[in-house]
Amino acid sequence: MQDVYADLAVEGAEIGDLVSELSPEEWATETPAASWTVRHQVAHLAYVSRMVRLAVSDADAFEAEIAPVREDFQSG
């Protein structure tokens, strides 16, 4: 499992390198995902990565963090 975490860390760093010098216009570029910009996509990846790390390192903190998200999702 450690290899998966190491791979995710490397991929995260590579994404960081790719986007580190984007201009404001490039951050605002629309993506194939309807109504999502590059900024939305990168923020989504960062959030998911953060939540994965939290889930494997601190289950209670993960549950506290995810509870309102789960509730919002389930309420439609």
Asked if residues 51 and 65 have their Cβ atoms less than 8 Å apart, the reply is yes
pLDDT in the model for residue 56 = 87
- Please count the structural domains in the chain: 1
- For 13, counting Cβ atoms within 10 Å of its Cβ (0-12 exposed, 13-18 middle, 19+ buried), the class is exposed
Beta bridge partners of 37: 30
pLDDT in the model for residue 7 = 84
Taking the whole predicted model, whether its pTM rises above 0.85 is answered as: no
pLDDT in the model for residue 1 = 61
Asked if residues 9 and 17 have their Cβ atoms less than 8 Å apart, the reply is no
Residues of the chain with pLDDT under 50: none
For 18, the domain range is 2-75
- Give whole-number Cα distances, 31 to 13, 17, 34, 50, in Å: 21, 19, 7, 22
pLDDT in the model for residue 39 = 97
pLDDT in the model for residue 9 = 82
Name residue 31's amino acid: T
